[in-house]
């Protein structure tokens, strides 16, 4: 098909495709901690000030080497440049819509809200787990941070120490007890 009849974004490269874990519910605010906000700003700064200019320089050099249709450096560089630009647009949107929440300024310090670090005991399997409830973009289960829209975090919201919480996990229904709630 001739490029004259194909829109620039027809290959799907134009918009950031998000997995379900990174999609915010319709109408929901993009809550995040100061640490998460700062991490997004740093990534954006790195892309804009370092990576993108380097890639533009590489593409310009490769374009000067002649036939672009068989020039691997040029083809890869243009693809990488589109990826960088897509990520920059995504980060700008996330930063603009961010609502930074300071966990230490929560009103009900005895209840679980955004930013709380909660220690739980699994009543069926035993064992303790500690999770901090954070924004969608800063969730990292291996570091003990879960998104505020995850099933566990939603079940924990407004619970207190000693409460038994039931929720539907991906593995099926579970029951956990809230041992401690702290904001740090």
User: What's the token pair of residue 55?
Assistant: 């890639």
Q: pTM for this one?
A: 0.76
At 13, the pLDDT band (50, 70, 90 cuts) reads very low
CATH topology of 30-100 equal to that of 103-182? Answer: no
**Distance separating alpha carbons of residues 129 and 145, to the nearest angstrom:** 11
Contact 94, 30 (CB under 8 A): yes
Mean pLDDT (the chain, rounded): 85
pLDDT at 50 over 80: yes
Percent of the chain with pLDDT strictly greater than 90:
59
The percent of the chain in helix, strand and coil, each rounded to the nearest 5, is 45, 25, 35
**Distance separating alpha carbons of residues 52 and 27, to the nearest angstrom:** 32
User: What's the token pair of residue 121?
Assistant: 């005991």
Residue 99: strand, helix, or coil? strand
Q: Does domain 30-100 have CATH number 1.10.287.180?
A: yes
pLDDT at 14 over 70: no
**Distance separating alpha carbons of residues 73 and 65, to the nearest angstrom:** 10
Per-residue pLDDT, averaged over 143-164, amounts to 93
For the chain, strand residue ranges (E) read 30-32, 98-100, 117-122, 128-134, 145-147, 164-169, 172-182
> For domain 103-182, which architecture applies?
Roll (3.10)
Sheet holding 172-182, edge to edge: 145-147, 128-134, 117-122, 172-182, 164-169
How do the domains of the chain map onto residue ranges?
A: 30-100, 103-182
Beta pairing, strands 30-32 & 98-100:
parallel
Contact 115, 106 (CB under 8 A): yes
């Amino acid at each position: 098909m001739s490029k004259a009849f194909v829109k620039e974004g027809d290959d799907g490269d134009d918009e950031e495709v998000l997995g379900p874990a990174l999609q915010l519910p319709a109408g929901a605010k993009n809550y995040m901690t100061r640490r998460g906000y700062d991490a997004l700003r740093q990534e954006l700064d790195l892309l804009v000030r370092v990576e993108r200019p380097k890639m533009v320089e590489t593409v310009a050099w490769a374009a000067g080497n002649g036939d672009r249709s068989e020039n691997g450096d040029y083809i890869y560089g243009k693809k990488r440049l589109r990826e960088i630009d897509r990520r920059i647009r995504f980060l700008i949107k996330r930063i603009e819509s961010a609502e930074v929440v300071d966990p230490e300024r929560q009103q009900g310090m005895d209840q679980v809200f955004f930013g709380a670090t909660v220690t739980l005991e699994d009543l069926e399997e035993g064992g303790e787990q500690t999770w901090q409830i954070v924004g969608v973009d800063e969730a990292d289960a291996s570091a003990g941070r879960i998104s505020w829209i995850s099933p566990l975090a939603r079940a924990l919201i407004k619970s207190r120490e000693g409460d038994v919480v039931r929720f539907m996990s991906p593995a099926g229904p579970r029951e956990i007890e809230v041992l401690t709630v702290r904001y740090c």
